[in-house]
Structure 1
Amino acid sequence: MATIAKFEPETTREELALVRSYLLLTFIHKVFERDCRTIGKSGLFKMPQLYMELISVGAKKTALMLQEVNRELASQNISITTIRQDQRGVEAEYKCRGYVGEMKIDWQSFRKEMTLRMRAYLGLAGEYSILARDEMKTQLAVSL
């Protein structure tokens, strides 16, 4: 399985899903913000404001969802204490109602879910992707 989580029996699947969503939304939001800045500064686009607007919509959706996940984490007494990334993937340590847990997600799984979510946030979820057959080969440059 792509996600490895060590947790106390008291940690539920829903709580783990919140931790995973927090990680994904945090990375996605940073990618959207970075891409928007890059487009604005590149000078390569004839009408960069259009592309920046599209990406900004995704960033705003992501920010709102991240706020909601943060509220839900707080209401369930869950805090993310550490986030690390290396060549293998993303790792987070968290506290859930006093118990310490760890979640590891390999890059392949993380990138795939990021791509699916980013397409949805940009309104492309139902659109045919010309890159669909190449998605497994595509590497996202992701860093916090």
Structure 2
Amino acid sequence: MQRAGSTENILVKSYVLLPLILSAFERDAGLISTHLRTPAPYLDMLNAAASAATGDLRDIRHEMRRLGVKVYDQQRLKTGIEAKFICRGYHDRMLLLYDMIAAQAAIHMRRYLGMDISAFKSYEEQYWIKPGAGEGEGD
């Protein structure tokens, strides 16, 4: 048997991060709807971004099942979020620091909102990202 490799670690990292991003989109939609006079265009954009993130999370869950990876516990600690998971029979853990979560979530959110994230080098290699996902037509 083999312990978790980089692909499995990327999947677990994204599995932990994406629900946080979905919560942020939902929270922001609530704020926008109550504080702006014309919230509809902004809410449409947030809903499209949340839909894309939900699709990615579904794909990540499918890939985790295919590879035999299961996150069985997540805990919020003082320094970050600890995820405990099983990969091919081995128990493993990952700690995502809050500073890293905030920075990576901001990049993810930009991508889902259709913004250019090319300035963030090797981002696609660190997270389960489909090239071109979330980008507009003709980019």
TM-score after normalising by structure 1: 0.76
Matched residue count:
119
Percentage identity across paired residues of the two chains? 26
The residue aligned with 2:57 is 66
Tell me the alpha carbon deviations over residues 83-123 of structure 1, each in whole angstroms, 9 at most, x when there is no partner. Answer: 11133111101111121110001111111111011001101
CA contact (8 A) 1:116 1:125 kept: no
Alpha-carbon distance change, 126 to 19 in structure 1, aligned in 2, over 3 angstroms: closer
CA distance in 2, matches of 1:9, 1:111: 31
CA distance in 1, matches of 2:114, 2:96: 25
Unaligned runs of 5+ in 1: 1-7, 129-144
The residue aligned with 1:78 is 69
SS of the equivalent of 1:11 reads coil
State the AA in 2 paired with 1:118.
M
Are positions 1:24 and 2:17 aligned together?
Answer: yes
TM-score after normalising by structure 2: 0.78
Structure 1 stretches (4+) deviating beyond 3 angstroms?
A: none
The residue aligned with 2:30 is 37
**RMSD across aligned C-alpha pairs, in angstroms?**
1.9
Are positions 1:54 and 2:66 aligned together?
Answer: no
Unaligned runs of 5+ in 2: 120-139
